[in-house]
Amino acid sequence: MDKIPSIDSELPGIAFATLPTTGETIAIRYGERIYYRVGSTKTAAELNAMYGVSKAQANAMLAYVLSGWETPPIAAENYKSRNVSA
């Protein structure tokens, strides 16, 4: 898979989110240009809790995968108050 160099050391290797367009739970791997559908009965929030991923980190990674990892660095703390399901 085509990965890019590290952008933000605050982001985890993997995070989970709810895809806004379909409501599906997805897995986002740091730096990868695609996301993966998750076949689980657990919510994105439950999966993130299992992996120690904060809502802010998951929201930042969702923003990157949807807008492109080449965008200027996104600080996780900028996503703490967003109402994005992660």
pLDDT digits (tens, 9 = 90+) for 1-20: 454 444 556 899 999 999 98
Where do the domains of the chain lie? 14-79
Residue 27: CB atoms within 10 Å? 18
Three-state SS for 16-47 is EEECCCCCCEEEEECCECCEEECCCCCCHHHH
pTM of structure: 0.76
pLDDT at residue number 5: 45
pLDDT digits (tens, 9 = 90+) for 24-60: 999 999 999 999 999 999 999 999 999 999 999 999 9
